[in-house]
Structure 1
Amino acid sequence: MPIITLTTDFGEKDHFVGAVKGAIYTEMEDAKIVDISHSISPFHLHEAAYIIQNAYKSFPQGSIHVIGVDSELNPENKHIAVLMDGHYFVCANNGIISMLTSEIRPEKIVEINIHDRIISNFPVLDVFVKVASHIARGGTLEVIGKNITEIKELTGIRPAVSNQESQISGTVIYIDNYGNVISNITKKLFEEVGRGREFVINARTVKFSKIHSHYSNAINFDFAPEKREEDGKKLALWNSSNYLELAIYKSSSKTVGSASSLFGLDYRDAILVNFIS
């Protein structure tokens, strides 16, 4: 039985998550359900895309990923099921799939057309559960939708490179639980454009000229613990997903503060990498 994952902006207070899980178990008592996150900021597609993009690859091929973010059905927000990279995604055609497919093209896309058989004002519960359960039982996408080739595109998540390749202009796409600031600049793009040149990263009030591989790389462990610069140490690094991240070592909003609060950075704020020829 394939795993069904859930990623939503429902939060944990209300009944929504429990109801969706209950509906899946009603369809399939032996279902395997994994919560990726229910703490996506409301309607925040870029945040959801970042989390899903960095989580789904850890699941087995054939897993089914239900995305309950901005999923209300309307003429401009149809529902789709997508086979991509050996995984299935059930979501609204709101642009989120385009943010997962910058380097991987979908193998198949269908526009879900079972709505006339389901009375629904809660599409994740009623429609997405039916579709995910159908796929989990070995059903084909053509049974629940019509083939389409185009999906809504959202390209704002991608960084821009200057004509002279002297600058990468990125933005903040995610702030994690520690207050660390993640940009949309990948290590691959940085190395392709930078070609080993020196650089300066500018983000509002801070500058960096070195990028670490691990948080602890910023600490000089040759010094005795009481002489180290640790609390509040700022650093830039390639995070576990190989995105450029600006961080505070062992950050805490209650003590040393976080990168977001101390650097004054929030979603969509600019992060610039200037290369020195």
Structure 2
Amino acid sequence: MPLVTLTSDIGNQDYLVGAAKGRLLCINPEFNIIDISHSLSPFNYPQAAYVCRSAIKNFPEYSYHIILVNLFESKPEQLLLAFHHDQYIICADNGLLSMILEGKPEMVIGLPLEKTAIKNTLYCIDIAAKAITQMLNGEPAEKIGIPDVEYIEKNPLRPLLSDNWMEGQIIFIDNFENVIVNITQEQFEQQRKGRKFKIIFKRDEMIERISGSYADVPQGEKLVLFNSAGYMEIAINKGNAAGLFGLKGFKESHSQFSAVLQNRLFYQTVKVYFE
């Protein structure tokens, strides 16, 4: 059974996720559909890229990943079908693909949308499902769309680097209000070069060691570790780091000015100093 994942910013409040799964199964009853997340913040590309990237790399080879995020930022003319590191990705042509892959895919195909069609979410699902089914039936990908098509690219959100410091942006806050920063363990160690360090956030909060788990500190104490996706995470053992420290995901707040008016200043970056 072909593995097909669904990721979206639709939410679970209405019918649309269920309807999308129904349309997939109507086109190919053999699809094994797996949800990654439908709770992504609308228009938040760094968050969507982090979630998709961290999930996709754990799937079996030749899985298919349909990503329904910000489908209609502009009037859509095509979907993108990409192949990279033995995974297929189908998403809108809105720049998210290059952010997920942090570069160019090994192959990219344009899946044209009919000019006269009503281009809603379920229509895009139909296009994706039909393309997957054609490939499963042995049709080469370059025959079902436009090979090497031009597409929108956006740069992934990377940390700022200097000789003695690095600055990361908060890209995700999980259900426990643990705070994920766009600094990977590999980037951290390359920049650290064996030196001591101080991780600074919210002006004066500081951590000087990397923990292996939440239990490395007493209950209620703050810590930093690298999560299972390899990204820096700020947490409190059995506490809510984001709420307590006033930390907010990058680009999630509509206006820092409005936050100040409400006597709430949100911090969206974390800085690491090396000594």
TM > 0.5: yes
Which residues of 2 match residues 185-204 of structure 1 at below 5 A?
185-204=183-202
Query: Aligned to 1:168, what secondary structure does the other structure show?
Result: strand
String of CA shifts for 1:201-233, please: whole Å, max 9, x gaps: 111142111111222122xxxxxxxxxx31x21
CA distance in 1, matches of 2:11, 2:246: 26
Q: What is the one-letter code of the residue matched to 2:142?
A: E
Contact between 1:200 and 1:274, CA under 8 Å: does it hold in 2? yes
Contact between 1:66 and 1:89, CA under 8 Å: does it hold in 2? yes
Q: What is the one-letter code of the residue matched to 1:274?
A: Y
Which residue in the other structure is 2:126 paired with?
126
Which residue in the other structure is 2:34 paired with?
34
Among the aligned pairs, what percent are the same residue?
Answer: 36
Aligned CA RMSD, in angstroms, stands at 2.0
* Per-residue deviation, 1:169: 1.2
Contact between 1:24 and 1:133, CA under 8 Å: does it hold in 2? no
Q: Decide whether aligned partners of structure 1 residues 213 and 154 sit closer, same or farther in structure 2, where only a CA change above 3 A counts.
A: farther
Query: Aligned to 1:158, what secondary structure does the other structure show?
Result: coil
2:159 paired with 1:171: no
Aligned residue pairs, count = 256
Which residue in the other structure is 2:105 paired with?
106
Q: What is the one-letter code of the residue matched to 1:147?
A: P
Q: Decide whether aligned partners of structure 1 residues 43 and 173 sit closer, same or farther in structure 2, where only a CA change above 3 A counts.
A: same
CA distance in 1, matches of 2:116, 2:109: 17
CA distance in 1, matches of 2:36, 2:93: 20
Consecutive unaligned residues in structure 1, runs of 5 or more = 219-228, 252-257
CA distance in 2, matches of 1:31, 1:40: 23
CA distance in 1, matches of 2:198, 2:185: 15
Judge which range, 66-75 or 175-184, deviates more: 66-75
Which residues of 2 match residues 150-161 of structure 1 at below 5 A?
151-155=151-155, 157-161=157-161
Which residue in the other structure is 1:263 paired with?
245
String of CA shifts for 1:47-74, please: whole Å, max 9, x gaps: 1211111111221111000000011274
CA distance in 2, matches of 1:14, 1:189: 40
Q: Decide whether aligned partners of structure 1 residues 109 and 180 sit closer, same or farther in structure 2, where only a CA change above 3 A counts.
A: same
String of CA shifts for 1:8-55, please: whole Å, max 9, x gaps: 111111111111111111111121110111111123222121111111
Query: Aligned to 1:54, what secondary structure does the other structure show?
Result: helix
Q: TM-score, normalised by structure 2?
A: 0.86
| Residue number among 221, 229, 245 corresponding to 2:233 in the alignment | 245
* Per-residue deviation, 1:234: 0.7
CA distance in 1, matches of 2:125, 2:100: 23
Q: Decide whether aligned partners of structure 1 residues 73 and 101 sit closer, same or farther in structure 2, where only a CA change above 3 A counts.
A: same
CA distance in 2, matches of 1:130, 1:149: 19
Consecutive unaligned residues in structure 2, runs of 5 or more = 251-267
2:25 paired with 1:19: no
CA distance in 2, matches of 1:259, 1:17: 31
CA distance in 2, matches of 1:259, 1:58: 27
Which residue in the other structure is 2:256 paired with?
none
Which residue in the other structure is 2:221 paired with?
233
Query: Aligned to 1:125, what secondary structure does the other structure show?
Result: helix
Contact between 1:118 and 1:127, CA under 8 Å: does it hold in 2? no
Which residue in the other structure is 1:58 paired with?
58
* Per-residue deviation, 1:144: 2.9
2:141 paired with 1:145: no
String of CA shifts for 1:150-188, please: whole Å, max 9, x gaps: 5433325111112xx111111100001110000001110
* Per-residue deviation, 1:118: 5.0
